[in-house]
Amino acid sequence: MKYIFIIQGEGRGHMTQAISLFQILKENGHEVSHVIVGKSKRRELPQFFINQINAPITSLESPNFVTDKNNRSVNIFKTLTVNLRKYRTFINSVNQIDAIVKESKPDVVINFYDFLGGLYFMLKKSQAKHIALAHQFLLNHSEFEFPKGRIYDKSSLLYGNKLAGYKAQKILGLSFQSMPNESQKKLFVVPPLLRDKVKEQSISSKDHFLVYMVNHGYSKEVLEFHKKHPDISIHCFWDKKDEPKELKIDDTLTFHQLDDEKFIHYMASCQGYLTTAGFESVCEAMYMGKPVLMVPVEGHYEQACNAMDATKAGAGVSSEIFDLEVLLNYLPQHKDVGDDFRNWCNQAQDVFLKALTEI
């Protein structure tokens, strides 16, 4: 079969999921004829993604979150107003998707939670099937537990799910643990998409901690912790454009630009992992048996849901403050759930091939 990917470019997770699924499809005789990535002025397309996707890549302007001036929290009002003002740009992006689909004639378009994918199926008549894939879609499940309150945020996120999954024949919800499918909603619960590179790591526990921040404004907290604990080694990954590939503060603190191989290397050997509460890297840490501290980005309700779900699955602990001190205090009580999680993840190839070819 022939596929096209449409991928949300915000953060690292959707791109690493796409790399993993790309490898599964290619190894089983299928073709990914084109990859479309929703881009943002705030972020560069990581080189590791370009290197590992052996297909034409097109970056298109896509709706994105707008953060505050310190690049820390999500500003919902500005996110709505800025994206509404750019609707002509997004219509142009949808037209470009339509041209790519008409030229390539795929059997299936797989949308990794980019709203452009939903807009394309809303505005254009396509012969291709639509499969929507993301952890966010697990929130449609009747058994999913939401954080208390924030009804407006919950409604907005579920509306976003409707847009991203518009006219989807199947909705695949990536999950930390197995749950029953809800076929009446076209919702199928699937394992995380971890790449072979993650699964093949030699695991150890050295003296360093690993930090990943979606928004580089959290570097302030890392520097404050480092002043208090200069003897604790930290490797921190960010995507601050105006900084060098490696910013070495001193012998025990280094900031790295996103580098997938280096990130996985430090993950495999760290004592613990501090991150904003995305999905993919938390799964990688769970697979390697690493304790995780998850700090949802301020105003980012989806990440609050992720943190609650991952804590329930045994990944680690969540906090409202980006502070390694919390992780240090948590380490003695962490219980490794790696065996069960690895068994669930290792079913991915069979589950996805069945889901993507039986439409």
Q: What is the pLDDT of residues 95-150, one digit of tens each?
A: 999 999 999 999 999 999 999 999 999 999 999 999 999 999 999 999 999 988 88
pLDDT band at residue 342 using 50, 70 and 90 as cut-offs: very high
Domain carrying residue 277? 197-343
Domain check: are 183 and 261 in the same one? Answer: no
Give tens-digit pLDDT for 283-328.
999 999 999 999 988 778 888 999 999 999 999 999 988 999 999 9
227 and 172 housed in the same domain: no
The rounded distance, in Å, linking the Cα atoms of 68 and 213 is 15
At 272 the pLDDT is: 96
Q: Give dist(CA 295, CA 277) in Å, integer.
A: 5
Distance CA 169, CA 158 (A): 18
Q: Decide the pairing of beta strands 108-112 and 2-8.
A: parallel
pLDDT at 95: 96
The yes-or-no verdict on residue 69 having pLDDT over 90 is no
Same-domain pairing of 95 and 117: yes
Q: 36-40, 231-235, 341-345, 346-350: lowest mean pLDDT where?
A: 36-40
Question: 295: which 2 tokens?
Answer: 């700090």
* 138 shares a domain with 171: yes
- Please count the structural domains in the chain: 2
Q: Are residues 97 and 204 in the same domain?
A: no
Helix axes 280-287, 260-269, angle to 10 degrees: 40
pLDDT number for residue 110: 98
The pLDDT of residue 44 is: 74
CATH number of the domain at 265, please.
3.40.50.2000
pLDDT range class, residue 227, cuts 50, 70, 90? very high
Q: Give the pLDDT score at 302.
A: 86
Same domain membership, residue 183 and residue 154: yes
What's the pTM? 0.87
Residue 80: predicted pLDDT: 66
